[in-house]
Each structure stands twice: as C-alpha cells, then as structure tokens.
Amino acid sequence: MPNLKNAKKALRQAQKRTERNLLVKTAYKKAVKEVQKAVEAGSPDAAEQLRLAQKKLDKAAKRGILKKNTASRKLSRLSKKVRGAVAKK
C-alpha cells in the first residue's frame, strides 16, 4: 500500500483507468464474438454486426487499449469471414 500522497493518487488513477479500459476491452471482444456467431449461423445481419465490431475495435485502438495494427488485423480477418459467408449463399 502506498504511503506518499502522490503515490496514493497514482494508485486511484490507475484503478480508474484499468476499470475504464476493461469496459472498452470487453465491449470489443463481445462485438467480435457476435460477428462470429452471426457468420456461423448464416445470419443476414452479419454485415451490420461487422460494422458495430469495427466501431468498437477502432475506438479501442484510438484509446490505446489495442495497437492500431492489431485492431486492423482483427477487423480484416472478421471481414474476410463475413465475405466468405455471404459468398457461400
């Protein structure tokens, strides 16, 4: 446990940031899973789910929770799956 006043404040700030980052992280992970479920089910709204996932991934990258290239790679792989599912129909 910190003793100094500034160390206590830093701990409080770190806890707040961790909580905020966790919300964004769970949001994009949930969005990615929704897209994958829609693709597996052959759902027609997979493209809409992909759009929402893109929004969440971009926001996570913007806030520094994900690296820009990681978000881009995840989005690319998701869109490839969605295109493949649409092409099969």
pLDDT digits (tens, 9 = 90+) for 3-30: 999 999 999 999 999 999 999 999 999 9
Domains recognised in the chain with CATH numbers: 5-88 (1.20.58.110)
What confidence tens digit (pLDDT) does each residue in 33-55 have? Answer: 999 999 998 888 899 999 999 99
C-alpha distance from residue 40 to each of 23, 34, 65, 85 (Å):
26, 10, 28, 8
Helix-, strand-, coil-residue percentages of the chain, each rounded to 5: 85, 0, 15
DSSP letters spanning 46-79? HHHHHHHHHHHHHHHHHTTSS-HHHHHHHHHHHH
